[in-house]
Structures are given as structure tokens and as C-alpha cells.
Amino acid sequence: MLIVTGAGGVSFCAGADLKAIDTFAPRLMSEEGPFGFTRLTPSKPTIAAIEGWCLAGGLELALWCDLRIASASSTLGFPERRWGVPLVDGGTQRLPRIVGLGRALDLILTGRMVEAREAQAIGLITEIHGRPLDRALEYAEALASFPQETMLADRRAALAAHGLPLDEGLAYEAQAGPATLAVAARGAARFAGGEGRGGAGAGV
């Protein structure tokens, strides 16, 4: 598991230094993206623990993560719109996939910033918590306790097949079946032996 958070627990990330915009060009053309990795898909679940400002490239970094846990005082958005700075680190592609095209266009076109409650209501953040990093660690520990082969296969299918026609997505999902049958059989045997009955151990 990977957790991304801001240093000191004050702000997640307020984006790039616009005073240094002349240094952006070489990184814009890289396959990895301006941050050096955000045009790549991580191989493991990623969680953003957000406090304070999560703006511009910082929001694009949070969108790169699978889950986003934020404090109630967090603010998210793309304020660079007002200065004519484009979204270049995945924001135009990931935000619509997370909140839907209509809500994404609202944030992308207007550059308005949203507080944590609204961000949760539209699906931009997963959960509001008083201590986002502690909660992210709880999530990570729970995810690490699950059988990894099937969890990672399901994650790959959800990410890779998103946007495909349903029949193609179902076919992609089915490809993982044979590779995970042994793990599934062991898990089913544990359940049959009494483990997890009544919902014990379910959820995070």
C-alpha cells in the first residue's frame, strides 16, 4: 500500500510554484508527468491523506490515488484556472472518472474551490476524518490483510476496463479468474470453517 500526504500535517499540496513556470516545459513532455510518476498507474492501492489545501497539481496528485481521506477543514480545487494555467498532470482525465463529467467540468471550467463536505458529497473524497493520516494507515493495514492476488486483480480490472463497453469490461474481468481460483478456494474453505461469519472482519 502507498499513502501520500503533506509534510507536517498542515497542507496536502498547493501545486507548483507558478513563479517557476518556465521550468515546466521539459516535464510536461515526459511520459511520467510533471511529478515524475503521475502519468503512470501505480501497481498497488494508493491513499491520499489530505489536510488543508489540496489545489492545482496537488489535487491532480490526490486524484492519482485510489482513495482520498480528508479533514473537515480541507479545501480542494483548480484555482490555476484564473491565471490560464492548464491541468497537465491527469486532472482532466481522472476527475471525470471519479465524480462524473458534469461535476468535473464545473470544477475544471470555473476553478472554484470546494470544502470537504461538498467534495465528499460529489464523490471527490472517500471519507472525512479528524486525523486523515491515521485513518489512511487503518485503511492500508486492512487492505494489506486481504488476500493480495484477488484484490489486486479486481483493482486492475476496475482501472483498466473503465470506459470500455460492458462486454469488453466483463471479458477483461474474466481473464483474472483462472489466476485467482486457488486463492479463492482457500478463502472459501476458511469461510466454510467458520471464519468471518456474521460479517466479522468485514470493511475497514
**Residue carrying C-alpha cell 482457500:** 186
200: left (phi over 0), alpha (psi -120 to 50) or beta: beta
Residue 49 lies in a domain: yes
Does 36 share its domain with 6? yes
Choose the final residue of a domain: 103, 118, 140. Answer: 140
| Active site (annotated) includes residue 168 | no
CATH code, domain with 80: 3.90.226.10
127 in catalytic set: no
Number of separate domains in the chain: 2
Tell me, what's the pLDDT at 186?
77
| Together in a domain, 76 and 122 | yes
37's CB contacts (< 8 A; 6+ apart) are none
Q: Does 186 share its domain with 103? A: no
pLDDT of residue 134: 96
Residue 204 domain flag: no
pLDDT along the chain (204 residues), means of 10: 87 72 60 72 94 94 96 95 86 95 97 97 97 96 92 91 91 82 71 66 64
> Do residues 135 and 152 both lie within one domain?
no
Same-domain check for residues 10 and 86: yes
Q: Are residues 56 and 133 in the same domain?
A: yes
**73 and 151 housed in the same domain:** no
Residues 152 and 127 in one domain: no
- Asked if 40 and 82 count as a contact pair (C-beta separation under 8 A), the reply is no
Cα distance between residue 15 and residue 44, in whole Å: 24
**Is the residue at 189 inside a domain?**
yes
Of 60, 118, 138, 168, which is the active-site residue? 60
Q: What is the pLDDT of residue 89?
A: 87
Q: Give me the domain span that covers residue 152.
A: 146-199
Residue 62 lies in a domain: yes
Shared-domain flag, residues 26 and 57: yes
Residue 134 lies inside a defined structural domain of this protein: yes
Which pLDDT score is estimated for 110?
Answer: 96
Which entry of 31, 32, 51, 80 is annotated as an active-site residue? Answer: 80
123 contacts: CB under 8 Å, gap ≥ 6: 98, 99, 100, 103
**Residue 179 and residue 110 share a domain:** no
Q: Are residues 26 and 81 in the same domain?
A: yes
